């Protein structure tokens, strides 16, 4: 069961490398800081239309930044490896798994989380309203992610077919099995009948 | 139809807004000042003894604040699950935890700790352990049965010949551990015109709730505050207090929302107590967030079955005898009583004239098992459905008809004790489903459709007992006229915590807008409520809310009599006022009555309360006494017999003979749960249950490598939890909606049968598509179908389990 | 074993110029990790099963992105997302099989950020290897999957050599079928190679799945007009229809003339460590009509030489059936 790391040679994401068991220190202040392309830690992020200055580690995921640095706990961590969809947020309007996105990669982009979905006056987005009316959520843990996928869909396709909605939300697991109710919610929010 | 104001009507549960706007707080969303982060080191071996833990590498590591080992927590007697253990019995068994100022440092520290473990023999398939000379999953033995008469380890071995005969489909002749029966079994088989005898396997699989079970704890003035992921609320307290080693009044559980449980969080589990011990040791709040992989390890799994069943049928289709033998894969902690429950489900759903159940709970070094949605009932539902089809075919009966002939009804007596049922309308459920599904027409369709596809139709029936009694109800009317409804039932996502409080609103005839529900934290003055499990809450909690509201109404009338003169019986309520029946001007508002209750004190204000209520309820009443009119009572309503939750399902599939994959073309699920309390909630349970059934029928299973005990599927991908595209886009449901006489509103529960009927309908449909071939197994994966269609052997040995 | 899921400490570089990226790739040739969409990166790092010291994020390099027409076909930047490929008119008009294959990858969110290069280079899904066990592929000296009682339903039928893992990429099968050319750069210059040669089996290199050498970056994929608008078939059979890998998949491009097969390329995924090209089937089909008899024979030829493990013999009929479906389509 010992993972023999030092003897291993592997290739991944285009570059070959030998794994090393020890970790190097933080690169801040190291000479690498001046290498072209290295990142600063204090960065500005555009979250739900607001500029947020935040100290972000190079390896930090967007889910961590949102939840633990910015207190936006509506983005849920269900698996932390891009297999469930509970952490779905929109980046420039496109659904992404926040657990599998580096915060540094969204510096120049607009991030929308569940906290930024309702209207400014606090009234609910049509998707949220429809999910309430259809009793779409059960345990609710996957719901923010479902909503983000649905919001992105309706932004691009205001009157999706049920099949289009099913495909668009398919990267969001619901263990309670509320799929039917979520799709009813999407259809209702887009002004279409569920009959 | 009924004329209720609230029961049977949809409403908006108050917590749903938090679920759609992201504000709903789950355990991991809480933080406390000075909180540190714990991570667990879990066993790399399937069975062993920890001989040394070397933490010297992290002794002076910056950011590390402490280590918790099995020596720091109470030891637990095998086979029970421990908070931390030096005797790991499965890969993933928690051995120690490290706390640090952030999670990454804690993980860095875990990476540096050296744990030496002496390995012991292990088994991942019960039959391997049962084989003479085979390994025992625990040093104390390989069988553990729990019963009221006594629990204990045993060492049971079968001869090689006995195992081989069992694998070959013969009646098991090896020793078993538990047994019950009724009727004359021999006579039953003698009377049978048809006997069906088959072996079967249902493989266990992980619950995989969306929320990995986080817990955070701190101590304040001797009280431990635990932020946990709990299915139940009040019901957790005794167990949590026991785990923490404190009195019940010294623990507060905060569990406002829970990201799924499905039976895996019914009572307090060991990991929920870990932060309490760690926090005590460190003197600061500790949060334990676990990984998805660890949720697979300790998040519970369904008990697996390896069994043999023999059924006798009379010429007319009536089941004359049922004989079932089940080897239960109970994991390392001997959890789950699925086998006997499966036997009970046969007794109730098919009402054989005579029956015998024999069980053998065998320990394995796989992940701990526990209740999972219809534990036992749903496994056997999947096995029974194709056998009922087989019987129908042999007796030249319609498949719907044979189920109706044996359907549970108001006269049926069930289980070993042949107890009555409170009410049961399975025949009505089957007919309603057949009508909605259009069974008669669909049966006329040809089985062969566009090659290479074939059609299959299936019928499934699900059952779980669906009620409990004896819990407490608590409500309060405040001087501002607001009705406060206290629910300690837990918030799992069924909304029954809210829908059952509407029983109190119904009795009080008040507007829903005037009601405020209190739940989610045990320091919010919650009563002793039922567990949020076993499909019981709808039945149990409508009763508690009913008795509390009846108590309140009685007090309101008495107060009105005191104010206006006359007797309590002269008064009536209309939702806002208590008024004299014949002199309507003698009237007080609920608000005025509540104010008067405070002034009158005694039982009216809660200063005096019934002696028979639970200590938890007593403390809550003490806290709210004097703040309004308190309605509080223990549910002592009459109850006699088994309370069945029933469901029937119909499914149509198109199976591709070239790939082994099938598509579900139509699904109809019918609930038979007495009066419908919350139509949308029922619909959600029926459809969610159907998705679970679809996962069990075709996708989900434990896979362990028998050579090293490694689990193959530790994440969502490998566990094959059904996605949007693996289930139909539309499913249809309805309910029989006939009241049960033993609930004030006629209600019974439904959560679990909602799944059993679905998995059964699918195994039935798969068999139908393949001209009656029965795999006798769940799941039936595409490779198995393809192997059958092409005439190849299956990859696994007969009756092998926890394999691909 | 501990279970981890927090990103470990690692340096991050986000170059915007090609030269900077190539320099970083060279500088960190031993301990670096090039980052595309990252969807098969973070799991390895969080598990601490792979421990690079530096991530080189290529997403800010515009030159590595986009789909453009060339005089001989089209060229796709390796950092182009699967989302963009699925939606691209050029690809849909001429090489629809690639859009189809890309559309069956993982889930919408993964396709939204996952790149073509990343999908091609992703590591095998062998569950033993993914657990961080010291198997051959991880530099150790045994194969857990090829053992007497191993759980190897998803493993290889062909060309196993000590390691029995399979290629997981859906787009790889389509690109080998389309006879794509891979464009590879390092600080010394460019090289090109066929998709078929790009993917390597354990007999060639047991710890890597492609021919990329340290310091090299896959920057583009060229599709020549040779197979533009050819009749095609793509199908992927997986347990789940979202977020799952092929048990077996098939990609076929075919040209017919006078009711006989003029030329074809047929590739299976999920049966070997590389996309498995069915050369013998292609040769057999050449000049033959697609009669039911020819199709049945072709299916039998397809599975010739298969060596089964404990749990994967179902892949033989599945593969044969997919060959038949492809040819009948």
Distance from C-alpha of B519 to C-alpha of B475, rounded to nearest angstrom: 12
Tell me which chain B residues have a C-beta less than 8 angstroms from the C-beta of A134: 680
Crossing angle between the packed helical segments B753-769 and B679-698, to the nearest 10 degrees = 40
Residue A110: DSSP 8-state: E
Cross-chain Cβ contact B792/C314 below 8 Å: yes
Distance from C-alpha of C252 to C-alpha of C249, rounded to nearest angstrom: 10
Cross-chain Cβ contact C57/A105 below 8 Å: yes
**ω before B452 within 30° of 0 (cis)?**
yes
Judge if B18-121+229-290 and B468-634 fold alike in CATH terms.
no
B284 to B213, B276, B288: CA distances (angstroms): 20, 10, 13
Residue B605 tokens, joined: 């204000």
In which band, very low, low, confident or very high, does the pLDDT at A10 lie, cut at 50, 70 and 90?
A: very low
pLDDT for the residue numbered B277: 98
Which regions of C187-325 does DSSP assign to beta strands (E)?
189-194, 217-224, 231-237, 248-257, 260-269, 276-277
| C positions 50-89 inside 8 Å of B (CB) | none
Q: What is the pLDDT of residues A161-170, one digit of tens each?
A: 999 999 999 9
Handedness of CA C207, C210, C213, C218 (dihedral sign): negative
Percent of chain A with pLDDT over 70: 81
How many other CB atoms sit within 10 Å of the CB of residue A156?
Answer: 12
Q: Which residues pair with B327 in a beta bridge?
A: B306, B360
pLDDT for the residue numbered A23: 28
Tell me if residue A18 falls in helix, strand or coil. Answer: strand
- Inform me whether the C-beta atom of residue A8 falls under 8 Å from chain B C-beta atoms: no
Q: What is the pLDDT of residues A108-119, one digit of tens each?
A: 999 999 999 999
Distance from C-alpha of B125 to C-alpha of B663, rounded to nearest angstrom: 31
Distance from C-alpha of B134 to C-alpha of B655, rounded to nearest angstrom: 40
| Residue C140: burial class (beta carbons within 10 Å; 0-12, 13-18, 19+) | middle
Distance from C-alpha of A148 to C-alpha of A136, rounded to nearest angstrom: 14
The overall longest dimension of chain A from CA atoms, in Å, is 65
Interface A–B counts its CB contacts (< 8 A) at 164
Which among A11, A39, A85 has CB closest to C12?
Answer: A39
From first to last of the 329 residues of chain C, give the pLDDT tens digit.
Answer: 779 999 999 999 999 999 999 999 999 999 999 999 999 999 999 999 999 999 999 999 999 999 999 999 999 999 999 999 999 999 999 999 999 999 999 999 999 999 999 999 999 999 999 999 999 999 999 999 999 999 999 999 999 999 999 999 999 999 999 999 999 999 999 999 999 999 999 999 999 999 999 999 999 999 999 999 999 999 999 999 999 999 999 999 999 999 999 999 999 999 999 999 999 999 999 999 999 999 999 999 999 999 999 999 999 999 999 999 999 99
Residue B724: DSSP 8-state: G
Tell me which chain A residues have a C-beta less than 8 angstroms from the C-beta of C201: none
Tell me which of 3.30.365.10, 3.90.550.10, 3.40.50.300, 3.40.980.10 is the CATH number of domain B372-465+642-789.
Answer: 3.30.365.10
Main-chain dihedrals φ then ψ at residue B502, nearest 5 degrees: -65, -15
- Inform me whether the C-beta atom of residue A81 falls under 8 Å from chain C C-beta atoms: yes
pLDDT for the residue numbered B315: 98
Percent of chain C with pLDDT over 90: 99
- Inform me whether the C-beta atom of residue C44 falls under 8 Å from chain B C-beta atoms: no
Q: Which of B233, B211, B208 is nearest to B24 (CA)?
A: B211
Tell me which chain A residues have a C-beta less than 8 angstroms from the C-beta of B716: 78-79, 83-84, 173
Distance from C-alpha of B179 to C-alpha of B202, rounded to nearest angstrom: 20
Q: How far is A166 from chain B (nearest CA, A)?
A: 6
Distance from C-alpha of A165 to C-alpha of A161, rounded to nearest angstrom: 6
∠B28-B31-B32 over CA atoms, to 5°?
A: 140
How many other CB atoms sit within 10 Å of the CB of residue C300?
Answer: 12
Is the Cβ–Cβ distance between C268 and C148 less than 8 Å? no
A143 to A128, B611, B760, C165: CA distances (angstroms): 10, 43, 29, 36
Q: Where are the domains of chain B?
A: 18-121+229-290, 372-465+642-789, 468-634
B515-518 and B483-486 as β-strands: parallel, antiparallel, unpaired? parallel
Q: Which of B444, B427, B457 is nearest to B651 (CA)?
A: B457
The b-or-e profile of A115-141 (16+ CB within 10 A means b, else e) is bbbbeeeeebbbbbbbbbbbbbbbbbb
CA B524 to chain centre: 25
**ω before B35 within 30° of 0 (cis)?**
no
pLDDT for the residue numbered B449: 84
Percent of chain A with pLDDT over 90: 76
The end-to-end CA distance of chain B, in Å, is 49
**ω before B612 within 30° of 0 (cis)?**
no
How many other CB atoms sit within 10 Å of the CB of residue B68?
Answer: 26
Main-chain dihedrals φ then ψ at residue C78, nearest 5 degrees: -65, -25
Does the interface ipTM go beyond 0.95?
yes
Give the domain A126-189 fold: DNA polymerase; domain 1 (1.10.150)
- CATH code: domain A41-116 is 3.10.20.30
CA B260 to chain centre: 11
Give residues with Cβ within 8 angstroms of B226, minimum separation 6: B215, B216, B217, B240, B244, B251, B252, B253, B254, B272, B273, B275, B276
pLDDT for the residue numbered B589: 98
- CATH code: domain B18-121+229-290 is 3.90.1170.50
How many other CB atoms sit within 10 Å of the CB of residue B585?
Answer: 7
Give residues with Cβ within 8 angstroms of B355, minimum separation 6: B181, B182, B183, B185, B188, B321, B322, B323, B324, B343, B346, B347
Q: Is the pLDDT of residue A12 over 70?
A: no
Closest residue in A to B682 (Cα–Cα): A135
In which band, very low, low, confident or very high, does the pLDDT at A37 lie, cut at 50, 70 and 90?
A: confident
Handedness of CA B620, B622, B628, B629 (dihedral sign): positive
Residue B513: DSSP 8-state: G
Tell me which chain C residues have a C-beta less than 8 angstroms from the C-beta of B790: 317
Q: Which of C57, C34, C36, C47 is nearest to C7 (CA)?
A: C47
Token pair 């569920």 in the structure block, residue:
A194
B304-313 and B194-202 as β-strands: parallel, antiparallel, unpaired? antiparallel
Give the domain B468-634 fold: Aldehyde Oxidoreductase; domain 4 (3.30.365)
Q: How far is B783 from chain C (nearest CA, A)?
A: 6
pLDDT for the residue numbered C268: 98
Q: Where are the domains of chain A?
A: 41-116, 126-189
Interface A–C counts its CB contacts (< 8 A) at 212
Q: Which residues pair with B251 in a beta bridge?
A: B224
Q: Is B534 left (phi over 0), alpha (psi -120 to 50) or beta?
A: left
- Inform me whether the C-beta atom of residue A61 falls under 8 Å from chain B C-beta atoms: no
Distance from C-alpha of B765 to C-alpha of B759, rounded to nearest angstrom: 10
How many other CB atoms sit within 10 Å of the CB of residue B123?
Answer: 28
Residue C74 tokens, joined: 């089209």
Distance from C-alpha of C145 to C-alpha of C155, rounded to nearest angstrom: 8
| C positions 161-180 inside 8 Å of B (CB) | none
Q: Which residues pair with C247 in a beta bridge?
A: none
pLDDT for the residue numbered A39: 84
| Residue A195: burial class (beta carbons within 10 Å; 0-12, 13-18, 19+) | exposed
Distance from C-alpha of A101 to C-alpha of A64, rounded to nearest angstrom: 10
Token pair 């039959």 in the structure block, residue:
B127
Distance from C-alpha of B786 to C-alpha of B769, rounded to nearest angstrom: 13
Q: In the sheet where C217-224 sits, what is the strand order?
A: C67-69, C73-77, C217-224, C181-186, C189-194
Tell me which chain A residues have a C-beta less than 8 angstroms from the C-beta of C210: 11
Q: Which residues of chain B have pLDDT under 50?
A: none
| Residue B768: burial class (beta carbons within 10 Å; 0-12, 13-18, 19+) | buried
Residue ranges of the alpha helices (H) in chain A? 62-64, 126-133, 143-156, 162-168, 179-189
Main-chain dihedrals φ then ψ at residue B40, nearest 5 degrees: -105, 145
Q: Which of B378, B430, B304, B437 is nearest to B690 (CA)?
A: B378
How much is the pTM? 0.96
Distance from C-alpha of B498 to C-alpha of B13, rounded to nearest angstrom: 6
Cross-chain Cβ contact A147/B730 below 8 Å: no
Residue B592 tokens, joined: 């005025």
Q: In the sheet where A42-47 sits, what is the strand order?
A: A50-55, A42-47, A110-112, A88-91, A94-97
Is the Cβ–Cβ distance between B367 and B331 less than 8 Å? yes
Which among B41, B660, B704 has CB closest to C2?
Answer: B41
Residue B380 tokens, joined: 């056997």
Q: Which of B12, B15, B20, B256 to mutate to test the interface with A (most CBs of A within 10 A)?
A: B20
Closest residue in A to C183 (Cα–Cα): A14
pLDDT for the residue numbered B336: 83
Which among B20, B209, B730 has CB closest to A128?
Answer: B20
| A positions 129-148 inside 8 Å of B (CB) | 131-132, 134-135, 137-144, 147
Distance from C-alpha of C198 to C-alpha of C182, rounded to nearest angstrom: 7
pLDDT for the residue numbered C220: 98
């Amino acid at each position: 069961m010992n993972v023999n790391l030092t003897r291993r040679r592997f290739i991944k994401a285009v570059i070959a490398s030998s794994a090393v068991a020890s970790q190097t220190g933080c690169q801040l202040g190291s000479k690498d800081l001046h290498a072209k392309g290295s990142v600063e830690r204090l960065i500005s992020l555009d979250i739900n239309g607001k500029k947020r200055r935040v100290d972000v580690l190079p390896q930090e995921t967007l889910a961590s930044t949102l939840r633990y640095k910015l207190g936006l706990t509506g983005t849920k961590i269900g698996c932390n490896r891009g297999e469930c969809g509970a952490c779905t947020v929109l980046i420039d309007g496109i659904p992404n798994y926040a657990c599998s996105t580096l915060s540094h990669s969204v510096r120049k982009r607009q991030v929308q989380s569940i906290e930024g979905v309702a209207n400014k006056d606090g009234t609910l987005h049509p998707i949220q309203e429809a999910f309430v009316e259809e009793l779409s959520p059960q345990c609710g843990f996957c719901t923010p992610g479902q909503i983000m996928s649905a919001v992105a869909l309706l932004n691009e396709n205001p009157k999706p077919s049920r099949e289009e909605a099913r495909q668009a939300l398919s990267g969001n697991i619901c263990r309670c099995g509320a799929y039917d109710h979520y799709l009813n919610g999407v259809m209702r929010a887009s002004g279409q009948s569920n009959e | 139809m009924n004329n209720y104001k609230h029961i049977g009507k949809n409403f908006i549960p108050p917590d749903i807004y938090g679920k759609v706007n992201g504000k709903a707080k789950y355990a991991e969303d809480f933080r406390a000042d000075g909180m540190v982060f714990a991570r667990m080191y879990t066993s790399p071996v399937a069975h062993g003894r920890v001989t040394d833990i070397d933490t010297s590498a992290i002794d002076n590591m910056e950011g590390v604040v402490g280590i918790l080992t099995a020596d720091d927590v109470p030891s637990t007697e095998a086979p029970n699950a421990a908070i931390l253990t030096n005797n790991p019995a499965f890969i993933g068994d928690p051995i120690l935890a490290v706390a640090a100022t952030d999670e990454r440092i804690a993980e860095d520290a875990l990476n540096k700790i050296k744990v030496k473990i002496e390995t012991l023999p292990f088994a991942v398939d019960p039959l391997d352990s049962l084989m003479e000379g085979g390994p025992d999953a625990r040093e104390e033995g390989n069988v553990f049965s729990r019963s009221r008469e006594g629990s204990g380890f045993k060492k049971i071995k079968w001869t090689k010949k006995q195992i081989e005969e069992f694998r070959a489909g013969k009646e098991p002749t090896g020793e078993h551990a538990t047994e019950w029966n009724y009727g004359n079994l021999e006579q039953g088989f003698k009377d049978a015109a048809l006997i069906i005898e088959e072996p079967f396997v249902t493989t266990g699989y992980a619950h995989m709730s969306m929320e990995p079970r986080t817990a955070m704890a701190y101590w304040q003035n001797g009280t431990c505050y635990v932020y946990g992921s709990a299915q139940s609320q009040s019901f957790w307290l005794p167990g949590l207090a026991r785990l923490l080693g404190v009195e019940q009044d010294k623990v507060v559980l905060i569990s406002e929302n829970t990201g799924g449980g499905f039976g895996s969080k019914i009572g307090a589990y060991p990991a929920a107590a870990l932060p309490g011990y760690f926090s005590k040791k460190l003197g600061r709040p500790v949060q334990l967030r676990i990984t998805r992989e660890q949720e697979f390890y300790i998040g519970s799994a369904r008990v697996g079955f390896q069994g043999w069943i023999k059924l006798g049928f009379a010429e007319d289709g009536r089941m004359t005898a049922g004989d079932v033998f089940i080897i239960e894969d109970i994991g390392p902690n001997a959890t789950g009583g699925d086998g006997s429950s499966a036997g009970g489900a046969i007794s109730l759903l098919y009402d054989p004239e005579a029956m015998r159940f024999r069980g053998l709970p065998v320990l394995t070094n796989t992940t701990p098992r526990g209740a999972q949605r219809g534990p036992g009932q749903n496994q056997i539902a999947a096995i029974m459905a194709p056998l009922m089809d087989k019987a129908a075919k042999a007796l030249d009966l319609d498949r719907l008809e044979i189920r109706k002939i044996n359907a549970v009804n108001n006269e049926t007596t069930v289980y070993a004790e042949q107890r009555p049922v409170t009410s049961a309308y399975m025949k009505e459920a089957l007919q309603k489903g057949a009508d909605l599904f259009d069974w008669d027409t669909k049966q006329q369709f040809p089985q062969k459709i566009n090659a290479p596809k074939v059609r299959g139709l299936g019928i499934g029936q699900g059952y779980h007992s669906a009620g409990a009694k004896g819990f407490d109800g608590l409500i309060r009317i405040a001087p501002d006229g607001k009705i406060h409804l206290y629910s300690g039932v837990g918030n799992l996502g069924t909304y029954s915590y809210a829908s059952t409080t509407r029983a109190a609103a119904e009795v009080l005839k008040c507007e829903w807008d005037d009601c405020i529900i209190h739940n989610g934290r045990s320091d919010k003055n919650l009563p002793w409520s039922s567990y949020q499990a076993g499909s019981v809450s709808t039945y149990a909690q409508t009763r508690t809310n009913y008795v509390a509201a009846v108590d309140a109404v009685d007090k309101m009338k008495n107060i009105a009599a005191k104010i206006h003169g006359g007797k309590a019986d002269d008064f009536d309520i209309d939702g806002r006022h208590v008024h004299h029946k014949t002199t309507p001007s003698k009237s007080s508002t609920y608000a005025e009555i509540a104010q008067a209750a405070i002034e009158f004190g005694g039982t009216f204000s809660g200063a005096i309360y019934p002696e028979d209520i639970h200590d938890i309820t007593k403390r809550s009443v003490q806290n709210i006494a004097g703040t309004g009119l308190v309605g509080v009572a223990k549910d002592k309503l009459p109850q006699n017999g088994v309370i069945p939750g029933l469901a029937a399902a119909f499914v149509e599939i198109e199976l591709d003979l070239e790939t082994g994959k099938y598509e579900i073309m139509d699904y109809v699920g019918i609930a038979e749960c007495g009066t419908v309390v919350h139509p949308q909630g029922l619909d959600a349970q029926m459809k969610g249950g159907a998705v679970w059934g679809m996962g069990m029928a075709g996708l989900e299973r434990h896979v362990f490598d028998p050579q090293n005990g490694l689990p193959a599927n530790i994440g969502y991908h490998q566990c094959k939890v059904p996605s949007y595209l693996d289930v139909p886009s539309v499913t249809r449901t309805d309910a029989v909606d006939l009241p049960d006489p033993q609930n004030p509103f006629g209600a019974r529960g439904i959560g679990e049968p909602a799944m059993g009927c679905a998995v059964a309908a699918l195994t039935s449909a798969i068999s139908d598509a393949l001209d009656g071939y029965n795999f006798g197994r769940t799941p039936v994966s595409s490779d198995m179908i393809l192997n059958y269609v092409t005439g190849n052997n299956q990859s696994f040995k007969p009756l092998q389990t926890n394999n691909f | 074993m501990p279970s981890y899921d927090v990103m470990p400490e690692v340096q991050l570089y986000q170059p915007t110029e090609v030269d900077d990226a190539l320099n970083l790739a060279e500088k960190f040739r031993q301990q670096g990790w090039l980052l595309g969409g990252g969807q098969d990166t973070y799991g390895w790092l969080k598990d601490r099963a792979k421990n690079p010291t530096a991530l080189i994020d290529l997403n800010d390099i515009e030159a590595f992105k986009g789909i453009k027409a060339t005089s001989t076909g089209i060229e796709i930047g390796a950092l182009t997302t699967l989302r963009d490929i699925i939606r691209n008119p050029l690809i849909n008009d001429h090489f629809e099989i690639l859009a189809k294959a890309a559309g069956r990858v993982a889930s919408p969110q993964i396709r939204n950020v996952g790149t073509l290069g990343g999908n091609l280079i992703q590591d095998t899904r062998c569950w033993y290897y993914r657990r961080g066990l010291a198997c051959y592929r991880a530099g150790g000296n045994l194969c857990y999957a090829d053992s007497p009682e191993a759980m190897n339903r998803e493993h290889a039928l062909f060309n196993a050599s000590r390691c029995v893992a399979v290629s997981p990429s859906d787009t790889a099968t389509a690109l080998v079928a389309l006879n794509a050319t891979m464009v590879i750069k390092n600080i010394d210059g460019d090289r090109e190679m066929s998709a078929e040669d790009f993917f390597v089996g354990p007999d060639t290199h047991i710890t890597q799945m492609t021919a990329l050498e340290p310091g090299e970056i896959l920057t583009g994929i060229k599709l020549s007009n040779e197979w533009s608008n050819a009749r095609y078939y793509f199908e992927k059979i997986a347990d789940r229809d979202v977020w799952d890998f092929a048990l077996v998949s098939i990609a076929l491009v075919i040209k017919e003339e006078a009711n006989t097969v003029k030329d074809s390329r047929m590739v299976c995924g999920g049966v070997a460590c590389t996309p498995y090209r069915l050369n013998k089937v292609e040769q057999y089909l050449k000049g033959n009509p697609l009669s039911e008899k020819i199709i049945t024979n072709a299916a039998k030829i397809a599975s010739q030489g298969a060596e089964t493990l404990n749990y994967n013999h179902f892949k033989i009929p599945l593969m044969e059936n997919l060959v038949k479906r492809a040819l009948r389509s």
